[in-house]
Amino acid sequence: MEVSVHNLTKTFGTLRANDGVSLRFAGGQIHGVLGENGAGKSTLMKLLSGFLRPDSGEILLDTKPVALGEPGAALRAGVGMVHQEPLDVPGFNALENLLCAAPRWALPTRTEARNTLIVLAGRLGFSITPDDPISALTVGQRQQLEIIRLLACGARTLILDEPTTGITAAQARSLFVALRHLADEGNTILFVSHKLDEVAAICNTVSVLRSGQVVGEGQMPMPQPQERLLKMMFGSGVDHVPSPASRLLPPASCLPPPASRLLPPASCLPPPASRLPSPAPSPLAWQLEGIAAREGNLTLTGLNLDIPAGVVVGLAGLEGSGQKILLRLLCGHLRPSSGRLRLAGADMANTTPATFRQGGVEYLPADRLIEGLVGPLTLTEHFALLQSDGAIINRNVAEAKARDAITGYNIKATPDSTIQSLSGGNQQRAMLAMIPDTTRALVCEQPTRGLDVASARAIWGRLMARRDAGCALVFATADLDEILDYSDYVLVFFAGRISQLIPRAELSASRLAELIGGVGFESADGVAKANLQ
């Protein structure tokens, strides 16, 4: 299916998200759509998939103009979208989600839905079965279910919005194999990303958006020099900025196939946050003694860990190895079944998340719209909710804080913009902007999720400033570069075990990758044991 747009325009108040966009995407190919956060990528894809209606311009499928007023109409026309946040029901299993999300004409019976799921999963190499509960699936597997649903409903054009955000390199590789297979069958794949290495690895063509407009000649064949793409994404302002000190990659076996895996030149990338020495690690932020905790089918036992103030601790390991249990313990969202947990010396083992917040702990979850933000509320209303000086809300103060956040964190929005109208990267910036200045300990799950390289480094600059002021920061991510660039200490999770607190200076990229794979883990073992039950 050929997909094209002509002079497509969409505005939100005074914000021109798409400004006269014209592009053409041929069938049987994978097309990359690049741009920094807020460049208009997600808006364009929502217009193509019927989630938004254009103010002007037209959309054509196989050269015929169509009106895609809602997602159902787009899907009937053959266009489906996989969002950054998977659209599913946590309390259902995979088959039940497929049945409740697909129209009756696509999957008329439960038996047909089960057979369709099994056949498509096998054809695409997806590790998902009909009876898998959604709560037990990884983000990557939830994406797989969404792709199966769209294909079952007749989609011939698949739009994937930042699909590798929050999934491991192995899961990304599996996704890429499936996308190549679908393109070889004649489907059209639109791959929206800001990750140049991934676009180079999988895409046949690439287009760049900046400030709502197409940059350059529109669609370009791949490969393209990464320096050129970076300049198109960010403008000439990145020319003088040096590259990070350590952009180290895991072994090739963990990464998608290297169709020109060239790193950007040093002149094109902003640097990681300043690696100033940490303050003296005193006092301790968290102390865990003999902690046992369970979530899902994973139980951690015998967890003994001291995390000092004024350091950054990165959690590395395959997804589902226990990182989330530790994060939720540290912010009070999960209570230990035994043991003692202290925050700055105070016993917190049986308290609530509100008590942790009163103690200066903030939690930034990976699932922004479920645990972090309220989609229909505006930025101003979010800052109003944070007011704690009485029952009366001062809207003027809240609006002023929203404007300060927009300026300070480069959020492409207005104070009256709803959170759900923002791109994923701008939602992440907004959530980070809401962290109080009084925060003493910060727990982050994928803190730069969905952010382009320049935005991610800017955010880490702010996080490092908090560290240097004495705030303790614990974060988990599947990005080994991020672990190595910004951690003072690293905890590695492998096969139900957790390493000792390893100084970053003692780790190379290859050594970290080995530990994640279990090579030589015995020498680093010692903090806790975990049991799968």
State pLDDT tens for residues 269-291: 334 444 444 444 447 789 999 99
Range of weakest confidence among 115-124, 159-168, 177-186, 501-510: 159-168
Picking from 294, 325, 498, 98, the residue whose alpha carbon sits closest to that of residue 490 is: 498
Interacting residues of 136 by C-beta distance below 8 A, sequence separation 6+: 296, 297
Three-class SS of residue 410? coil
Range of weakest confidence among 123-127, 172-176, 298-302: 298-302
Higher-scoring residue by pLDDT: 296, 379:
379
The whole-number pLDDT of residue 235 equals 77
> Residue range 429-458: average pLDDT?
87
The whole-number pLDDT of residue 260 equals 30
pLDDT exceeds cutoff 80 at 492: yes
H runs (alpha helix) in 351-470: 353-358, 379-385, 395-408, 424-433, 453-468
**DSSP 8-state symbol, 133:** B
pLDDT exceeds cutoff 70 at 8: yes
**DSSP 8-state symbol, 172:** H
Q: Which amino acid is at 64?
A: K
Burial of 104 per CB tally in 10 Å (0-12, 13-18, 19+): exposed
Burial of 525 per CB tally in 10 Å (0-12, 13-18, 19+): middle
pLDDT exceeds cutoff 70 at 239: no
The whole-number pLDDT of residue 164 equals 83
Phi, psi for 426 (deg, rounded to 5)? -70, -30
Q: Which amino acid is at 473?
A: L
Question: How many CB atoms are closer than 10 A to CB 271?
Answer: 16
Question: What does DSSP say about strands 441-445 and 472-476: parallel, antiparallel, or unpaired?
Answer: parallel
For residue 283, whether the previous peptide bond is cis, meaning omega lies within 30 degrees of 0, is: yes
Q: Which amino acid is at 323?
A: Q
> Domains in the chain, please, with CATH?
3-240 (3.40.50.300), 272-360+438-533 (3.40.50.300), 374-435 (no CATH)
Token pair for residue 245? 């000190």
The whole-number pLDDT of residue 525 equals 58
Phi, psi for 474 (deg, rounded to 5)? -120, 125
pLDDT tens column, 116-156:
999 999 999 898 999 999 888 887 888 889 999 999 999 99
The four Cα atoms 382, 384, 390, 394 give a dihedral, to 10 degrees, of: 180
pLDDT exceeds cutoff 90 at 434: yes
pLDDT band at 258 (very low <50, low <70, confident <90, very high): very low
Ramachandran bin of 89, using left for φ above 0, alpha for ψ from -120 to 50, beta for the remaining angles: beta
* Helices vs. strands in the chain: H and E counts, helices first: 16, 23
Cα separation of 138 and 144, whole Å? Answer: 10
The whole-number pLDDT of residue 263 equals 30
pLDDT band at 248 (very low <50, low <70, confident <90, very high): very low
pLDDT tens column, 352-386:
999 999 999 999 988 888 888 998 999 999 999 88
> Residue range 410-433: average pLDDT?
88
Q: Where are the beta strands (DSSP E) in 455-512?
A: 472-476, 489-494, 497-499, 502-503
Range of weakest confidence among 53-62, 275-284, 358-367, 494-503: 275-284
Cα separation of 115 and 133, whole Å? Answer: 17
Decide: 476 and 444 in contact? Cβ < 8 Å.
yes
Picking from 209, 297, 223, 257, the residue whose alpha carbon sits closest to that of residue 533 is: 297
pLDDT exceeds cutoff 90 at 191: yes
Higher-scoring residue by pLDDT: 172, 527:
172
Cα separation of 130 and 138, whole Å? Answer: 15
The whole-number pLDDT of residue 500 equals 87
At 208, which helix (H) or strand (E)?
Answer: strand 205-210
Three-class SS of residue 42? helix
Range of weakest confidence among 111-120, 253-262, 288-297, 321-330: 253-262
The whole-number pLDDT of residue 517 equals 73
DSSP string, 189-220: EEEE-S-HHHHHHH-SEEEEEETTEE-TTS-E
> Residue range 189-214: average pLDDT?
91
The whole-number pLDDT of residue 496 equals 62
Cα separation of 39 and 412, whole Å? Answer: 9
pLDDT band at 458 (very low <50, low <70, confident <90, very high): confident
Round the CA-based radius of gyration of the chain to a whole number and report it.
23
Higher-scoring residue by pLDDT: 202, 321:
202
Higher-scoring residue by pLDDT: 195, 224:
224
pLDDT band at 451 (very low <50, low <70, confident <90, very high): confident
Interacting residues of 482 by C-beta distance below 8 A, sequence separation 6+: 314, 448, 456
Decide: 385 and 395 in contact? Cβ < 8 Å.
no
The whole-number pLDDT of residue 377 equals 94
The whole-number pLDDT of residue 36 equals 82
> Residue range 12-20: average pLDDT?
86
Q: Tokens 């073992």 belong to which residue?
A: 525
Token pair for residue 122? 């096998």
Interacting residues of 155 by C-beta distance below 8 A, sequence separation 6+: 75, 78, 79, 80, 187
Cα separation of 152 and 470, whole Å? Answer: 52
Question: What does DSSP say about strands 188-192 and 157-161: parallel, antiparallel, or unpaired?
Answer: parallel
Q: Tokens 């991610």 belong to which residue?
A: 456
Range of weakest confidence among 73-82, 180-189, 228-237, 475-484: 228-237
Phi, psi for 495 (deg, rounded to 5)? 45, 45
Mean of the per-residue pLDDT values of the chain? 83
